[in-house]
Structure 1
Amino acid sequence: MSTLSNKIDFVLLVSVNMANPNGDPLNGNMPRTDYNGFGEISDVCIKRKIRNRMQDMGHDIFVQSADRCSDSYDSLSSRARDVLKNVSSKDRDKYVAAACEKWLDVRSFGQLFAFKAKDKDASGDSVSVRGPVSIHQAVSVSPVEVHSMQITKSVNSEPGEKKSSDTMGMKHYVRYGLYVVKGAINVQLAEKTGFSEEDSNVIKECLRTLFINDASSARPDGSMEVEKLYWWKHNCKDGQCSSAKVHRSVHVTQKTEVDTPSSIDDYVITIDEIDGLKPEILSGC
């Protein structure tokens, strides 16, 4: 595999329809919003979905969710300890190289490997990996309407119980929102982790198909959709311009005659031209 040699920037447009894209556990699992009512999706949530897609595509990943665990390890420490048992954490360079070679998410996003002093061949220090793929938290283009509904049960939980409709809790969702995800891939960090051109294509495909196999009661199939992926590949390592300028070149504006957006058709999307740098525009799946 060839190491990445050209900086990459990307912008992803994601629509949410009657779903909770990212609940806040400190606020009753309500969809995340800022003080002005704009919806938010954390970068951690987006990276989790990318990791899941990496798994679906057959790649080994280090940070696995409990319901998608593809090996016998019940923790990150046990996975690292066993898989990298032939490499001492005291030799940082070899340890980082082995971890990056084994796990795609480590060489993409980086990882902190923390060790207790009692661990074999560990000094109690930690080994950190800086990954080349950075992702901003997503923010909606317009303020979102958050709705809630009460959930009840109408069956017996235990034998002999009297059938009743007892309150079980609340379910929260965004009626409609169009979110913008921004990110970049840094060549200098890619060289350190061994992140390759082929890996960048995996990231691109993961973003394009972000919500495949992601359905849940909070996000039913079809309620979240990748509308567009804008992918810029620069002609050099450092980039022809800053990531900020590239990200600002995409303008998503609510149409003046629309009071409450209900689809991407209620927005006008334009892209500023940047000399010598043209995006690849992909539709979601």
Structure 2
Amino acid sequence: MEPIKNRYEFTVIFDVENGNPNGDPDAGNMPRIDPETSAGLVTDVCLKRKIRNFVEIFKEDEPYYNILVKPDKALNTKFTEAYEAIGEKTGQKGKNPEAVRAARDYICQNYFDVRTFGAVMSTGNDPCGIVRGPVQISFAKSVDPIFTQDITITRQARTTEDKRDTGETEMGRKSIVPYGLYRADGYVSAMLAQKITKFSEEDLELLWKAIINMFEHDRSAARGKMCVRKLYVFKHDSVLGNAPANVLFDKIVIGKKDGVEVPRSFNDYEITVDKNMPEGVELQEKA
């Protein structure tokens, strides 16, 4: 498969209703927020996890679409398996740089997430180097400040026999965002795809599909109702690009409709898109 030949930027817009899109372990797993603006946040790590999970389901057991970052094995074990696959000795320090590059190329060829996002694979006695991935995603940020609500819940099953003596139920807490609309911007570098990971056109189409469907197979009571509403893609007609990313991202403006003070649904917002693109840039609406 040939690596991509065009640079891309993209904007994904998604929302949450009565759920926690990304809990913060430093704040009792409450929804992440910017403490200065109260805007909601969803980390890039969280979004990449959902993309990985979709690809794993959609491409299960297909060659070249394995996922490196998942809890099935230790990473160092997978690095050792790469050396075994290319016929290199394992478990010895001071690896030949050529062997490290060969192991890195094997990982890139066989693991979609490394081919896409890159990875730090320099640990253990069988290191596979460090890969800069062509696809990067920013933190998602809510369009407006979010209101975090702490809900009290009850549970009938007691955790210990001692607690059964105090009654039949236990009290618990659940943190939700009643409604929030989030935006994340991303980048796809054809230069890094060609030089390092060989991220292909087929990989790119799978990435768009995974972004559009990243919440469809990730349902849970904690996350409530989450949905990708829009995916805008800016395609350059060159490897290095034809316009700065910030100029393109500014073409998409999200605002509340007239008369709406507290948004409670996607229909309370209006998305304005300036379709007058710089020369050499094409706007594609994927969702």
Q: Which bracket does the TM-score occupy, shorter chain normalised?
A: 0.7 to 0.9
* CA distance in 1: counterparts of 2:202 and 2:14, whole angstroms: 24
Deviations along 1:117-156, whole A, 9 cap, x unmatched? xx3xx4xx77100000010000000111110112332234
Q: Which residue of 1 aligns with 2:92?
A: none
1:99 CA drift (Å) = 0.8
Correspondence 1:191-202 to 2 at 5 A: 191=194, 192-202=196-206
1:115 CA drift (Å) = 2.5
User: Which of 202, 213, 216 in structure 1 is aligned with 2:217?
Assistant: 213
1:80 CA drift (Å) = 2.1
User: Which of 224, 232, 235 in structure 1 is aligned with 2:234?
Assistant: 232
The one-letter amino acid of 1:92's match is V
The one-letter amino acid of 1:219's match is R
Corresponding residue pairs, total: 267
CA gap 1:33/1:2 in 2 versus in 1, 3 angstroms: same
Instruction: Compute the RMSD of aligned alpha carbons.
Output: 1.8
Q: Which residue of 2 aligns with 1:271?
A: 273
Q: Which residue of 2 aligns with 1:154?
A: 156
Q: Which residue of 1 aligns with 2:38?
A: 37
Query: What is the DSSP-based 3-state SS (H/G/I as helix, E as strand, rest coil) of the residue aligned with 1:278?
Result: strand
Q: Which residue of 2 aligns with 1:188?
A: 191
Structure 2 unpaired stretches of 5+ = 60-64, 90-94
The one-letter amino acid of 1:82's match is E
1:210 CA drift (Å) = 1.2
1:87 CA drift (Å) = 4.2
Q: Is 1:11 aligned with 2:11? A: yes
1:240 CA drift (Å) = 1.3
Structure 1 unpaired stretches of 5+ = none
1:217 CA drift (Å) = 2.4
Deviations along 1:217-261, whole A, 9 cap, x unmatched? 2114xx000001101211111111011211111110122411100
User: Which of 48, 54, 61 in structure 1 is aligned with 2:67?
Assistant: 61
CA gap 1:6/1:87 in 2 versus in 1, 3 angstroms: farther
Deviates more, 1:180-189 or 1:273-282: 273-282
1:157 CA drift (Å) = 4.1
Query: What is the DSSP-based 3-state SS (H/G/I as helix, E as strand, rest coil) of the residue aligned with 1:180?
Result: strand
Query: What is the DSSP-based 3-state SS (H/G/I as helix, E as strand, rest coil) of the residue aligned with 1:226?
Result: strand
Query: What is the DSSP-based 3-state SS (H/G/I as helix, E as strand, rest coil) of the residue aligned with 1:21?
Result: coil
* CA distance in 2: counterparts of 1:166 and 1:256, whole angstroms: 45
Q: Any conservation in 2 of the 1:84–1:99 contact (CA below 8 Å)?
A: no
Q: Any conservation in 1 of the 2:257–2:269 contact (CA below 8 Å)?
A: yes
Q: Any conservation in 2 of the 1:211–1:225 contact (CA below 8 Å)?
A: yes
Q: Which residue of 1 aligns with 2:261?
A: 259
* CA distance in 1: counterparts of 2:40 and 2:202, whole angstroms: 33
The one-letter amino acid of 2:208's match is K
Q: Which residue of 2 aligns with 1:129?
A: 131
Deviations along 1:56-111, whole A, 9 cap, x unmatched? 121311001x3xx4xxx3x1111222243234653332122111001010011000
CA gap 1:5/1:87 in 2 versus in 1, 3 angstroms: farther
Q: Which residue of 2 aligns with 1:114?
A: 122
Q: Is 1:84 aligned with 2:83? A: yes
Q: Any conservation in 2 of the 1:43–1:137 contact (CA below 8 Å)?
A: yes
Q: So what's the TM-score if we normalise by structure 1?
A: 0.88
User: Which of 131, 138, 141 in structure 2 is aligned with 1:139?
Assistant: 141
1:183 CA drift (Å) = 0.2
Q: So what's the TM-score if we normalise by structure 2?
A: 0.87
Q: Any conservation in 1 of the 2:32–2:40 contact (CA below 8 Å)?
A: yes
Deviates more, 1:255-264 or 1:196-205: 255-264
Deviates more, 1:226-235 or 1:23-32: 226-235
Identity of aligned residues (%): 32
Query: What is the DSSP-based 3-state SS (H/G/I as helix, E as strand, rest coil) of the residue aligned with 1:279?
Result: strand
